[in-house]
């Protein structure tokens, strides 16, 4: 009878102890696995990322671009290129000084033509009656992009440049004021340049008019 009682007590204790042991020890032997996808903030599946980027200030875009991958930059470029064109047609409201009409420099834009970035048209350097100078874009067209600027530069890499400001429109005739004493022996190129991503859309090398 005593042996039977001991067996019953042992069974009861085992029924209590074994589940507790399994519960406490099992995490050491049971694997768990998770595979969360990497969040994609700036992609074709995430137009909000593009919209947020385009809503940033120029300085914010420059900072954001430093942390973006090449794929993310290309996606922003493609989405910007698909945006609706903007057009401007500025006339010459200031009389050109015909005695010193211009510096005799003109050029034709050559686009990168990589499927995303392109520019075409003519550029002229004009001196006006008040002795100020402008860059004149004529029959101009380029693809859209985020914060595209007009540069006078020493080369196509914009290793040294004068920033003439944000492109007024990607289509049309337009004028940009430049410093009077700009050295065109040094700054021989006019660039269409995406500022936050440091990407060239197109360039024109200035040369003397025939």
Domain membership flag for residue 164: yes
Helix (H, G, I), strand (E, B), or coil: what is residue 68?
A: coil
Please tell me the least confidently modeled range out of 102-106, 107-111, 131-135, 147-151. 102-106
Domain membership flag for residue 13: no
Tens of pLDDT, residues 13-65: 666 656 555 555 555 555 444 544 544 444 444 444 777 887 788 888 888 88
Domain membership flag for residue 159: yes
Domain membership flag for residue 10: no
Domain membership flag for residue 198: yes
Determine the structural domain holding residue 169 and report its residue range: 41-210
Q: Where are the alpha helices (DSSP H) in 70-191?
A: 70-81
- Contact (CB, 8 A) for 111 and 159: no
Tens of pLDDT, residues 104-127: 799 999 999 888 889 999 999 998
CATH number at residue 91: 2.60.40
Q: Strands, E, within the chain: which ranges? A: 102-108, 110-111, 119-127, 133-142, 148-153, 161-166, 174-178, 189-194, 199-205, 207-208
Domain membership flag for residue 17: no
Domain membership flag for residue 126: yes
What domain count does the chain have? 1
Q: Where are the alpha helices (DSSP H) in the chain?
A: 2-25, 47-55, 58-66, 70-81
Domain membership flag for residue 186: yes
- Contact (CB, 8 A) for 188 and 205: yes
């Amino acid at each position: 009878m005593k042996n039977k009682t001991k067996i019953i007590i042992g069974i009861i204790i085992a029924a209590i102890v074994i589940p507790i042991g399994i519960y406490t020890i099992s995490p050491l032997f049971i694997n768990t696995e998770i595979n969360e996808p990497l969040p994609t903030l700036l992609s074709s599946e995430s137009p909000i990322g593009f919209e947020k980027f385009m809503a940033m200030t120029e300085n914010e875009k420059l900072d954001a671009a430093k942390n973006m991958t090449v794929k993310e930059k290309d996606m922003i470029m493609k989405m910007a290129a698909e945006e609706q064109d903007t057009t401007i047609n500025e006339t010459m409201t200031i009389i050109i000084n015909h005695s010193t009409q211009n510096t005799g420099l003109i050029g034709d834009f050559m686009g990168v033509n990589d499927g995303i970035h392109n520019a075409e048209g003519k550029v002229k350097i004009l001196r006006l009656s008040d002795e100020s100078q402008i860059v004149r874009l004529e029959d101009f067209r380029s693809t859209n992009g985020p914060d595209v600027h007009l540069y006078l530069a020493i080369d196509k890499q914009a290793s040294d440049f004068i920033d003439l400001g944000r492109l007024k429109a990607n289509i049309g005739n337009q004028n940009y004021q430049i410093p009077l004493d700009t050295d065109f022996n040094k700054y021989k190129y006019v660039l269409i340049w995406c500022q936050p991503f440091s990407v060239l859309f197109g360039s024109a090398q200035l040369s003397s008019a025939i």
